[in-house]
Amino acid sequence: MNILILCTGNSARSILGEALINALGQGRIRGFSAGSAPKGEPHPLALKTLESHGHPTEGLRSKSWDVFAGPDAPELDAVITVCDGAASESCPIWPGAPVKAHWGLPDPAGIADIARARTAFEATYQALRRRVKALTADPMPDTREALAARLEEIEGTL
């Protein structure tokens, strides 16, 4: 199963989501991230937050959602937006006609005070971790309908 996490800048929330899906999916789910207007690099606190929880950060990068709309893109099973900006934008046509969901979270990248930003990144990580754990719980969704139902349930409860 392939899941794309979208945010406008692809520097914080979507990067955290990509890493969490790849870790908690244990090979059953592959996570990807992208943005409609990527910042060009992951936010340093996103990388530090992941590292503090033992996640590898090598290979994580900020990229355009166009990468996943082309003919060489992986076929997506789901696209999850994590910011209201990306959720309201007109998205490309995704290969595989994926299920769509919105897991809106506040943006920790816009906080200037370093102590408050660290706290916000940790809270965002924990919120995404709860959602990804619910997504990857057994039994895994094995149809589009089951995946859509699981994503809707997660969106409404976590």
Question: For the chain, what are the domain ranges?
Answer: 2-144
Q: Name the residue among 95, 106, 93, 155 with its Cα closest to residue 130.
A: 155
Interval 14-64: pLDDT, tens: 999 999 999 999 999 999 999 999 999 999 999 999 999 999 999 999 999
Vertex 74, ends 102 and 20: CA angle to 5°? 50
Return the higher-pLDDT residue of 37 and 96: 37
Domain 2-144 top-level CATH class: alpha beta
Vertex 57, ends 118 and 46: CA angle to 5°? 20
Q: What is the pLDDT of residue 89?
A: 66
Q: What is the pLDDT of residue 85?
A: 66
Residue 104, pLDDT above cutoff 80: yes
Q: What is the pLDDT of residue 60?
A: 97
Residue 112, pLDDT above cutoff 60: yes
Residue 88, pLDDT above cutoff 70: no
Vertex 147, ends 56 and 87: CA angle to 5°? 70
